[in-house]
Amino acid sequence: MINTIWFFLMVVGIIVGIINGRLEEVTQAAMDSASLAVQLCIGFIGIWALWLGLMKVAEKSGFIRGIGKVLSPITSILFPQVPKDHPAMGAMVMNMAANMMGLGNGATPLGLIAMKELQKLNPHKTRASNAMCLFLVINTSSITLIPTTVVALRMSTGSSQPTEIIGTALIATTISTLVGIISVKLLEKREG
């Protein structure tokens, strides 16, 4: 599916670019996006190294494992294939918690550790496991407790009540996360 979508974005983009006479912009966008990827990754090196360093300490001290165990009554229902005291569980829980608090890029290294741990349990190394699919869907529909960026933006554009959307966003994101979990469970059954 990702192959089809990627192909669609590229081919439709170029064809529409030809029709619109925007080929120069298309070329420029391709170059700019490539440079952006470099910039992003160089930026990531620093932030990720910081978090991966800290997480190594958390892992060795048993903190990650412990966090996973504490929340295992909930998480083991969602991720039945992952053993309760496996480090993957703790890393996933911490990634979700970091996302909830709106840490953004700070949450990513935790997620990458979780993926690495999940990969150890995965029998097909190039094919996503059920646990990975569910983890990523929860991650992308992430429950954010306080969307700080949006609140700040509302404040700066003259809202009289910038925080009034915290409640509505929380409900919307909870619904979308639940829909995501249900979709994953249904789709994984259909796939077998």
**Which residues, numbered 152-181, are part of the site for another protein (CB under 8 A)?**
153-154, 157-173, 175-177, 179-180
Q: Which two tokens stand for residue 185?
A: 């469970």
Report the residue number, 50 or 74, with the smaller CB distance to another protein.
Answer: 50
**Which residues, numbered 55-84, are part of the site for another protein (CB under 8 A)?**
55-63
Residue with token string 């249900």: 182
Member of 78, 83, 102, 121 binding another protein (CB under 8 A): 102
Q: Cβ contacts of residue 100 below 8 Å, gap of 6+?
A: 142, 143, 144, 145
CA distances in angstroms from 128 to 81, 82, 113, listed in the order given: 13, 14, 15
Q: Give yes or no for residue 41 binding another protein (CB under 8 A).
A: yes
**Which residues, numbered 103-132, are part of the site for another protein (CB under 8 A)?**
103, 106, 108-109, 111-112, 115-116, 118-119, 124-128, 132
Q: Which two tokens stand for residue 157?
A: 């554009």
Report the residue number, 84 or 170, with the smaller CB distance to another protein.
Answer: 170
Task: Give the separation between CA 20 and CA 46, rounded to whole angstroms.
Answer: 41
Report the residue number, 62 or 80, with the smaller CB distance to another protein.
Answer: 62
Determine the residue type at 190. Answer: R
Report the residue number, 74 or 174, with the smaller CB distance to another protein.
Answer: 174
